Amino acid sequence: MQFAFGGEWDARDAQQRSDAEALAQARASSETRVLPFWRGKPHLAGSALAWVPADHPMLRHAQQPFLYLGQHQGRARFAADISTWEPDALDRAALAMFLDTSIQRHPDAPPEAHFGELRMAMSQLAPPEAALAATARALFNWHRTHGFCAACGHASDVTMAGWERQCPACGAKHFPRTDPVVIMLVTHGNDVLLGRSPGWPERMYSALAGFVEPGETLEAAVAREVFEETAIRLGPVGYVASQPWPFPNSLMFGAVAEATSREITLDDELEDARWFPREEILRAWSGNHPDLLPARKGAIAHYLIGEWLAGRL
């Protein structure tokens, strides 16, 4: 797996989500492990997730039921959102940055453990652990933003071990949302089209991307997004691979297309877009380009560009 979050763990064990007795037994087991999250950040230790026992004192901050992730390596796995905990000397400015480099250490956690930005850790985690963290992060974000019934407006309850919300007033059930996004490597001869959004780190460029609209195919979304953002026309579109992207709740569909035009006209979504020759991308890949950073390792954009550089796209 050359990009993050696409791995699998032993079993999602979906049939247990409605079994309250089995879940209670799992919660009571000394073998069970829980992954704490704090405001979207997983608990980390080195290049691994920092799991804790189900009775760990930091889990007292969890206000919602634990999220059941299934079984992995012979243990039941849960995740818990402890975002109500307030760290000492919290750097709130860092939390609002595009890439939050700050870390938070809970006083009850081992000294080597901390809460850190998943995007910075994604390429270091083993594929199953990255997938577990991404799944939990996406679900916690869904709960954070969907606390009320879309049918009647009443506050809804967490059910099915975190995989559903149900309205006690009208009985409506609500399920986790995943937003489809196309991300496309657009080429023309020896060149590739990359863009940057306002607010991105200096020199950061990536493949163009955008949300799929209702009633639209993936291929149509690729052509529409590229034309809206750059006025570039495309030939046939090919599907490459997909990546769950929990920032916040997306599924990225990676595509490749050859442009039939080259003149760029930017819309207001992009700060800049350019054609980069293969040689410049190779310089960026080696860290020697003055104006271009390579796409972040673990992201599907990095995979697409790498496959193109290797001649496999």
Rounded to 5°, angle at Cα 237 from 232 and 238: 145
Span 246-273, mean pLDDT?
96
Gap between the Cα atoms of 98 and 149, Å rounded: 31
Measured distance CA(264)–CA(289) in Å, rounded: 22
Structural domain boundaries in the chain: 14-144, 146-176, 179-309
Closest CA to 299 of 218, 220, 204, 211: 204
Upper half-sphere CA count for residue 93 (Cβ side, 13 Å):
0
Strands of the sheet containing 164-166, edge to edge, are: 157-159, 164-166, 173-174
**DSSP for 124-136?**
TS-HHHHHHHHHH
Q: What are the residues facing 79 on neighbouring strands?
A: 35, 67
Question: Considering the chain, what is the average pLDDT of its residues?
Answer: 94
pTM: 0.93
Q: What's the mean pLDDT in 252-270? A: 96
**Assigned CATH topology for domain 179-309:** Nucleoside Triphosphate Pyrophosphohydrolase (3.90.79)
Determine contact, residues 214/255, Cβ cutoff 8 Å. Answer: no
Tens digits of residue pLDDT in 270-279: 999 999 999 9
